[in-house]
Homo-oligomer: A and B are copies of this chain.
Amino acid sequence: MLLSPMANQMNHFFSALADPTRRAVIERLVTGPAPVSELHAPHDIALPTFLKHLKVLEASGLVRSEKKGRVRIVHIEAAPLAEAEGWLQKQRRIWEGRLDRLEALAEHLERKSNGDLT
Residues of A whose CB lies within 8 Å of any CB of B are: 1, 3, 7, 10-15, 17-21, 23, 26-27, 30-32, 43-45, 76, 78, 81-82, 84-85, 87-89, 91-92, 94-95, 98
Q: A10-B23, A31-B98, A32-B98 are in contact. List 11 more A-B contacts (CB 8 A).
A: A1-B43, A10-B17, A11-B19, A14-B15, A26-B91, A76-B95, A78-B92, A78-B95, A82-B92, A85-B89, A88-B88
Q: In the complex, which residues of chain B have a beta carbon less than 8 angstroms from the beta carbon of A44?
A: 1
Query: With A and B bound together, what is the CA distance between A98 and B31 in angstroms?
Result: 6
B18, B31, B84: which contacts A15 (Cβ < 8 A)? B18
Q: How far is the CB of A48 from the nearest CB of chain B, in Å? A: 16
